[in-house]
């Protein structure tokens, strides 16, 4: 409404809005539990809600060679990748294509801030849940699973819904 009023005040004609359907997403709380520890995380935009427990598999920087090195362990697992290298979505879809049931994206810079960014592709819901964790949490996860396999539990309360967007035309 503000934009339409402003455009009209500039003297533009035929000012109106046109609606379009979009896939909506609303972030809710996210939890990552490992070996009795609850670690800070944030649901990546577009992640579906979940309550999933699976083995945690570290896939390095999430590059093709990193995924190939742990290929036999990925089906049914939660993949942990570092943020360095290729784009987050490329790493995410490598996890999806490997048969993972969850995705943890570790920050690449110190500072205790979890990375975020959409895991939706082509306007469709994300196929597996994903969270971002800080560089420090990612490092801790790598140390925790160094000597023994461990399970991770992801609990995400997010809401997916059909929604409507508006384009303003003048």
> DSSP string of 56-122?
EEE-TT--HHHHHHTHHHHTTSEEEEESSSS-HHHHHHHHHHTT-SEEEEE-SSSSS--------BT
From residue 125, how far is each of 22, 61, 63, 95, 107 by CA, in Å? 11, 24, 23, 15, 23
| Residue keyed to tokens 């996860």 | 141
**Cα separation, 90 vs 46, whole angstroms:** 15
pLDDT value for 144: 85
- Can you give the pTM of this predicted structure? 0.85
Give every residue of the chain whose pLDDT is below 50, as ranges.
none
Phi–psi pair at 67, nearest 5 degrees: -70, -40
**Cα separation, 156 vs 43, whole angstroms:** 7
**Cα separation, 139 vs 116, whole angstroms:** 17
109 and 137 in contact (C-beta within 8 Å)? no
Neighbours of 46 (CB within 10 A): 22
pLDDT value for 35: 87
50-95 confidence digits (pLDDT tens)? 999 999 999 999 999 999 999 999 999 999 999 888 999 999 999 9
**Cα separation, 55 vs 76, whole angstroms:** 8
Task: Sheet containing 130-133: give its strands across.
Answer: 37-39, 30-34, 151-156, 50-58, 78-82, 102-106, 130-133, 42-43
């Amino acid at each position: 409404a503000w934009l339409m009023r402003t455009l009209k005040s500039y003297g533009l004609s035929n000012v109106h809005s046109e609606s379009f359907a979009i896939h909506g997403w609303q972030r809710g709380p996210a939890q990552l539990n490992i070996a009795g520890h609850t670690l800070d995380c944030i649901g990546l935009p577009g992640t579906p809600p979940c309550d999933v427990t699976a083995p945690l598999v570290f896939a390095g920087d999430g590059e093709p060679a990193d995924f190939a090195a742990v290929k036999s362990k990925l089906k049914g697992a939660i993949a942990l990748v570092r943020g360095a290298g290729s784009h987050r979505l490329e790493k995410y879809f490598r996890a999806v294509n490997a048969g993972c049931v969850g995705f943890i994206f570790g920050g690449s810079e110190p500072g205790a801030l979890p990375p975020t960014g959409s895991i939706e592709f082509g306007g469709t819901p994300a196929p597996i849940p994903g969270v971002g964790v800080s560089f420090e949490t990612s490092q801790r996860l790598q140390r925790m699973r160094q000597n023994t396999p461990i399970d991770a539990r992801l609990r995400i309360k997010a809401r997916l819904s059909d929604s409507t967007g508006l384009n303003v035309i003048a």
